[in-house]
Amino acid sequence: MPEDWMRYEGVDLRKYANGAYIYRTSHVSLDADGSPRAYHPADTGIDANINAGYPHRGWRSVLALDPEDTNQPYIQVDGAYAGYFVSKTSLRSDRIADIDPAAYVNAEEVPYIVFPGAFYALKGTGRYGDLAMVRAVGTEFETAAIVADGGPTKAPLGEISLALATALGGINLDPRDGKGAPRGTFEYMIFPGSASRPAWPRSFDNIDRRARELLADVGGWPE
């Protein structure tokens, strides 16, 4: 069974002997980053440009730079989402060009977790690419996930991708205002050191299979 480990922004974390840890929170915020249609110069993407820090300061950590003018974000020139910016995630492939949306973790397709900056900096919390299991307590909703993005330094735990929010029971999600996000208490089991090499890309089938093995290794969800 896990033992008390530490407290972060009002959330108690408990740790297993093998380094895995678990926490519960009812806070949910939605992350669309990594989706190729997240942000658009006309602010017509699925998320609001202000959430990417655009056009003000801050967008460089969210939007890919235009290699021909690094003072501007790159705009996709072809494909289904031509005209949109390229939205980044902290977890990315180092084998694919920065301006290719395929380099990043698509929030609409992959269940992923966002770590606040201060939490990510803590020893033992894990790194981008590590795996997790997440469930909505008292429901049938459960899924594997991957740690794929970083959030504001002092943000609370509970920021998740659109795909993870859907897997936990969210409906008609709107990352602009958070509408449709699942409600309830959510339990996260994180497995530090479980990232693959390279950490991305990684198929969801592989993520799911390995995360469930790791959950079984600690005896499943605690009662």
Domain extents for the chain? 3-32+106-217
Structure tokens at 129: 């690419």
Q: What is the mean pLDDT of residues 122-144?
A: 98
Q: Is the pLDDT of residue 49 over 90?
A: yes
Q: What is the mean pLDDT of residues 96-113?
A: 98
Query: Rounded CA gap, 2 and 17, in Å?
Result: 7
pLDDT value for 168: 98
Q: Is the pLDDT of residue 160 over 90?
A: yes
Query: Rounded CA gap, 16 and 30, in Å?
Result: 28
pTM of the model: 0.96
Is residue 112 within 8 Å of 128, Cβ to Cβ? no
Residue 223's pLDDT band, with cuts at 50, 70 and 90, is confident
pLDDT value for 133: 98
Q: What is the mean pLDDT of residues 44-52?
A: 97
Q: Is the pLDDT of residue 190 over 90?
A: yes
Q: Is the pLDDT of residue 138 over 90?
A: yes
Query: Rounded CA gap, 37 and 19, in Å?
Result: 37
**Distances from the Cα of 77 to the Cα of 32, 39, 95, 101, 156, angstroms:** 21, 14, 20, 12, 36
Q: Which amino acid type is present at position 202?
A: R
DSSP bridge pairs for 15: 3, 21
Contacts of 43 (CB under 8 A, 6+ apart): 49
Structure tokens at 100: 């290719």
Q: What is the mean pLDDT of residues 3-13?
A: 97
pLDDT value for 57: 78
Query: Rounded CA gap, 71 and 158, in Å?
Result: 32
Structure tokens at 17: 């002997």
Structure tokens at 199: 């950490």
Q: What is the mean pLDDT of residues 4-25?
A: 97
User: How much of the chain exceeds pLDDT 70, in percent?
Assistant: 100
Q: State the average pLDDT for the chain.
A: 97
Residue where the block lists tokens 């929170």: 25
